[in-house]
């Protein structure tokens, strides 16, 4: 099994820099990306070889966020770790 994890610092930027070609060449079974800085509906990303896709976006658009793309169906998916204070209320950096 090949699992890749990558801090992309903006998924929309890497789309323009050969991301899809890279995915095709390395073909991980599971790809985890961090710092997507986008909600799923803001990205036109076509990865048909990865039928299991999970996005977890920050409340404020353009902040943090993660996505997982998998060729393998997960046994279970959990979006919350029980900490409700993460990016749910305004932060000093929001002003």
Residue in the block written with tokens 């990306």: 33
The pLDDT confidence band at residue 78, using thresholds 50, 70 and 90, is confident
DSSP string, the chain: --EEEEE-S-HHHHHTTTHHHHHHHH--SEEEEE---S-GGG-----TT--EEEEE--SSTTS--EEEEESS--S------S-TTTTSS--GGG-
- pTM for the whole structure: 0.79
Q: What is the pLDDT of residues 14-73, one digit of tens each?
A: 878 888 899 999 999 999 999 988 888 888 888 999 999 998 887 777 677 889 999 999
Q: What is the mean pLDDT of residues 70-77?
A: 93
Question: pLDDT at residue 10 above 80?
Answer: yes
Q: What is the pLDDT of residues 80-92, one digit of tens each?
A: 676 655 555 454 4
């Amino acid at each position: 099994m090949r699992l890749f994890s990558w801090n992309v610092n903006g998924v929309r930027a890497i789309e323009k820099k050969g991301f899809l070609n890279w995915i095709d060449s390395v073909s991980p079974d599971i790809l985890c990306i961090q710092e997507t800085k986008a909600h799923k509906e803001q990205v036109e990303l076509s990865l048909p070889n990865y039928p299991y896709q999970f996005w977890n976006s920050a409340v404020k658009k353009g902040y943090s966020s993660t996505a997982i793309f998998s060729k393998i169906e997960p046994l279970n998916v959990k979006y919350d770790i029980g900490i409700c204070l993460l990016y749910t209320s305004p932060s000093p950096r929001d002003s």
